[in-house]
Every structure is written in structure tokens, then in C-alpha cells.
Amino acid sequence: MNDKKSARFSSVPCPPRDVLILAAWFVLLTCLGDIGMQAIRKLVLHSNFYWRAHIVWMILLANLLVFAIPTAVLLILAWSRRLSLLTATASFSIVSFVCLLFYAHYRLHPLALTALAIGFAVQAARFLASRPTAYRGLVTRTLPGLAVMVALLGTAIGVWRIVTERRAMVGIPSAPEGSPNVLLIVWDTARSLTLSLYGDKRPTTPNLERLALQGVRFDHAIATSSWTLPSHASMFTARYPHEVASTLFRKPMGTQYPTLAEVLRARGYATGAFVANYFYASREYGLNRGFTHYEDYTLMHEVFRTSPLLEALSVNGTGFPALKYREIIGRKRADDVDAEFLDWLPERPDRPFFAFLNYFDAHIPYKPPPPFDRKFSAAGDAILDVEWDGAMPKGVQGPEKRKALESAYAGSIAYLDDRLGKLVAELERRGLLENTLLIITSDHGESLGEHSHTALGHSTSLYLTELQVPLVMKFARRLPQGQVVRAPVTLRDIPATVMDLAGFAKSSESSFPGFSLARQVAEGKNEFAPAGGSTVLSSLFPMPGWTRKDFPVFKGKMASIVRGTLHYIRNGDGREELYDFTSDPLEQRDLVPGRQQQDALAALRFSLDSVLAKPNPADPSAKAR
């Protein structure tokens, strides 16, 4: 194109009305491009992306948000008569291409993607703006059709999701008379060490303590992994993480085993889940199987997770570090989870319910609402003192900063406990508590620098700071009051326990592997002798792409076993660790170098090898071995 022609079409003005029309056209085009990219992710690449009921509207809202500032700037230029059609087209094209190319931001550097988007946009803009009459005609003719297409897609997917949920209850038999409700409460990231129920000097859990006096407290409940997905998978399927293919990050839970929700729904239960952990407990990770009603994302978080550009700018939805803002975008508080659950209860059919409530308030960044933000410290926003590696906490330097962080974490636990007390009171007011099996636990714990200043968070190791969690059960019809089980137990046994206490233990169609923890209660396991139940096994795999070599997990696959008072850890490089957690609760004194407990070490080593040697049906190579 020669300079005269370039100058001619670059001087074609773009009035404010045309700016608005172009903005709408590019927003709708980008929406359709987004929908196409999402379809490729789901149908071609088999990504763990879930087509939520409002996905099209969330894509539209996200693009309106992204295009808002450029549109405002261009309108100002247009009103001052300093905007050309070429500049407007190039600007909107850049935004559109950036939005679409950022689907690859996990693989390519954002600057490279932005440069590529600018190159594509400039060429597209020069081509379109060189034909202003035809270009304007194309925009005005196709704009209504694009709007109709987006509206039809949004409506169709929304209706499909609603119909699917309603059809899920069709044909389900009536539950046996007298079947109890089951309420599984998971305080995501709540370690037992910080609960006053388990000895913390701060009054973090007075309501949970009262419930424990009305039921059973397990003093050494161990998660099957130190992060969300594999631990939840075990609680739902009674399988260890390596059995359900939930060992890998960004991969959904395997589908080869039934879930507790599926089994209870088949027995006539209404099933509902109310989830605050958007990152690894949302629908796309497979935990929704068996639930006829599943609520996860808030509106704001769904908007940010739907747009790869907004997701990247907010560091995977965890805040805006450049603005010194660290908070989960659209975080769902415990109040919100409770409200969703209580609103659902009257809507369910006349059936017993199985409800799963996942709370995320104890997860980093530790930002409980007032007055819990300063309940144990007046230090202010402790999370700003944390060193970060992208969306992951890297560490905290200095005892004062660490103390402030611990206080913020304790305040988060106290907030959860306060909401628990209110929820239980409401269930009692509605007359539901007496016939409800209530289970309160966590999916994993949290390291707060006990092993090094960099060991902050979870999914970094298999120390008990990341594995030992609260476990309290209350069910007046079947469980005694005020009993304590000191023997180590695994969360893997929750499904077998639920089926036993709900009266389905002898039903062949609803059986789960593992052992009912009610047996431990009946036998009065108040000592540390091996309980004779499931192996208390935990495992952890490294996250692909991470470079944090200071975390134990990055030496390779890890596994551990708890038996009696001993905790045996096998690291990825083969190094072994052994701790007596009764005399050394923070696991600072490794017994392996001193060659102590050699007989116990050999027995634990053999037990671990025996469990891990069992073929994993999810592994295609398992049959060949």
C-alpha cells in the first residue's frame, strides 16, 4: 500500500456513534471467538474446563469489562475529533487478539503474546479501514446477527444445564424410611494444630469444642494428601490418590469409582454441594459427580476465570500484586456458603439430604472479615509481608512477620468456627439436626514456616502440619457423646463410615473399601495402638512446571504412613524420615539418622511398599506390569 492511500484511509474520521458500534461488534466477535476456544479446550484438548450454565453470559461480561477502558478512551478522542477509523479499528483489534491469544499464556510469555496480537491487529485494521464504506456496511449488517448468536448460545447452554439438573432427580427411588441426613463440612486448609479443640492456646474453635462434647473427636485424623483435589477424591470415593488419578495438578478426578454422592443419590437422597474453593473443587475437577445441585463460582470470580486475559492479570484470580492487593477475586465467604445451603434445603424434594459444604476462609491469603481480622493480632494486613512466587506463597522472613501471619490464620479459623455455631443453631431451629450425621473435617493442613521460612502453604511436603486435620462427628442416634479416638485414622474411611452410620453398610450396591470409623468409636480407641483399619497413607506428586527446589516435593513423588505414634516419610529422592509425633509434634527430630526404631522403620517401609505396589486401574500400563 502506497503512502498516499495509507494517509487517505488513516484520516477517515470515527465519530462517537461509530466507536460504540465498533465496540459492540468487536465485543461480540471476541465472545464468539472465546466460545470457540473454550469448545476446543473441552472437546478437542479434553481440558478440565466445565461448561457452566452461565458461561456465555460470563464471557460477554468479561469482554465488556476488558473493552470498557479502551472504549472510554476512544470516545474521548472521538468527541475531540481526533480519532480516525484506522486508530479505532486497530485499538479494538489489539484488545480482541490479546483476549484470544492469551489462551496460550501458560505456554508463551505474555509479552510475546501481546506483540503477536499487535502484529495481527495492525494488519487486520489496515485491511478493514482501507475500505471504510464496505467496512461500515459489514459492521452494521452483521451486528444484529452476532448479538442473536450470542444470545441463543447463552440461552441454550443455560436451559441445558437447568434441564440436566432437574432430570438428575427423575427415576431416583424413595429413600428407606428413617434414613438420616448427612452433612459433610470441610474447612479447606484447616490444620488441627491451630484449633483450640486440639490444644492451641488461642480460643479459635469454641463451637467445634461444644460439638465434640456432643459427639466424637478424632485426635489424629490424617488427610490422604496435602492439597485439595486428591484429598477430596479420597473422601468421596474411599480410594487413595494414586488409585483415582487425582495426583496431577490441573487434571480432574478419575471416573472409574463411584462417589459417595452417587451412591447416596441412588439410595434416594437429594444431593447438594456448596463450594468456596474455585481452584480445585469446582465442577471441572470432577467432584460434582452424583450431586444434583452444585454451586461453586461467584459471579466476579467466574468472570475473571472465564477470561484468560483477566485471569493472567489477576495472577490466576488471586489479586493484583502490582497494586499491593492480595485477595481472591470474588471470594466466597462462609456466610455465602451457608446462605446457599440454607436456601437449597426448602427446595429439595421430600427426601433426606447429603450436603457437602466446602469453606475456603482458612486458605491463603488469610483475610477474615472484621472483627476476626484483629481477633488475635492488631498487626494489620499480614499477607502483604509474604514473599510470593506468582500465585503461590513463597515464604515470610522474621519472627514478627511470621507471628502476624499465624494470627491472621488463627483469625480465619475463628471466623469459620463462628459460622459453624450459627449454622448448627439454624439447623436445630429447623428441626433437622437431630436426624443429621454431622461430619466436620478439613482436606489438608498448612505449613507456617515450621520447617523453613520458605515452607509456607501446602502441597509442599508430607509433614503433619500439612496432613493432620480436625475430625469431629455428631449423630445422636448412633454415636456416643464426648468420646475421643486417639488412634490415627485416615479420611479415606469417611465413605465407609457414612454408609455404616446411615444404615447401608450391608448393601452390596453401596459398599466402599475401607473401614467404618464407628468401629473405632465402639472399640474405644483411646490409645495409640494401631487401629486395625485402613492404612493411614498419604501421597504427593510435584506440580509440573514449578521450579521451587526448596520444597521437599520437588525431589519427586512422596508418600508417608502413620501408625501408632510414628510417621514415616519417603521422599522422591529415596531419603527416609521417621518422627514420633507425640514427643515431637512439629517433626523436628528425625529418628532415621540415629538408627532408632529400626524394627518399626522396616515394618512401615514394608507397609508402604505393599500399598503402592497395588496396580492403579487408572494407569493404562498397570495391566502390563
Highest-scoring range by mean pLDDT, 386-390, 452-456, 580-584: 580-584
CATH no. for residue 279? 3.40.720.10
Of the CA atoms within 13 Å of residue 70, those in its CB half-sphere come to 22
Beta bridge partners of residue 270, listed in sequence order: 353
- Asked if 108 and 199 sit in the same domain, the reply is no
Question: Could you report the per-residue pLDDT of 577-604, keeping only the tens digit for each?
Answer: 999 999 999 999 999 988 778 889 999 9
The answer on pLDDT for 573 being more than 60 is: yes
- Asked if 201 and 158 sit in the same domain, the reply is no
Average pLDDT over residues 47-71: 83
Task: Name the burial class of residue 17, with classes exposed (0-12), middle (13-18) and buried (19+) by CB atoms within 10 angstroms of its CB.
Answer: exposed
Residue 74 lies in a domain: yes
- Asked if 35 and 133 sit in the same domain, the reply is yes
- Asked if 276 and 130 sit in the same domain, the reply is no
- Asked if 188 and 313 sit in the same domain, the reply is yes
Q: What is the dihedral of CA 240, 245, 250, 253, to 10 degrees?
A: -80
Residue 481 lies in a domain: yes
608 contacts 559 by C-beta, under 8 angstroms: yes
Question: Could you report the per-residue pLDDT of 109-151, keeping only the tens digit for each?
Answer: 888 988 998 999 889 988 887 888 899 999 999 999 999 999 9
What is the pLDDT confidence band of residue 158, given thresholds at 50, 70 and 90? Answer: confident
pLDDT for position 249 = 64
d(CA 197, CA 211): 10
Question: Could you report the per-residue pLDDT of 253-262, keeping only the tens digit for each?
Answer: 878 899 999 9
Question: Could you report the per-residue pLDDT of 159-202, keeping only the tens digit for each?
Answer: 887 777 777 667 788 889 989 999 999 999 999 999 999 999 99
- Asked if 248 and 290 sit in the same domain, the reply is yes
Lowest-confidence pick of 33-47, 266-280, 390-404, 438-452: 390-404
- Asked if 159 and 193 sit in the same domain, the reply is no
- Beta pairing, strands 216-218 & 471-474: antiparallel
Out of 517, 545, 572, a domain closes at 517
d(CA 330, CA 55): 16
- Asked if 218 and 156 sit in the same domain, the reply is no
Length of the chain: 625
Q: Distance from CA of residue 222 to its chain's centroid?
A: 19
Beta bridge partners of residue 222, listed in sequence order: 468, 490
- Asked if 148 and 189 sit in the same domain, the reply is no
pTM of the model: 0.87
* Closest CA relative to residue 490, chosen from 132, 160, 231, 193: 231
Joined together, the cell numbers standing for residue 302 give: 467466574
The count of domains in the chain is 2
Out of 493, 517, 541, a domain closes at 517
Joined together, the cell numbers standing for residue 265 give: 443419590
Place of cell 488469610: 366
- Asked if 199 and 147 sit in the same domain, the reply is no
CA geometry: angle 191, 194, 197, nearest 5 deg = 100
The range of the structural domain enclosing residue 365 comes to 184-517
Residue 56 lies in a domain: yes
- Asked if 225 and 131 sit in the same domain, the reply is no
Average pLDDT over residues 434-451: 94
**What backbone torsions phi and psi does residue 296 show, to the nearest 5 degrees?**
-125, -85
374 contacts 202 by C-beta, under 8 angstroms: no
- Asked if 59 and 119 sit in the same domain, the reply is yes
d(CA 300, CA 58): 9
Instruction: Reduce the secondary structure of 106-164 to three states and give it as a string.
Output: CCCCHHHHHHHHHHHHHHHHHHHHCCHHHHHHHHHHHHHHHHHHHHHHHHHHHHHHHHH
Out of 476, 492, 517, a domain closes at 517
d(CA 525, CA 514): 17
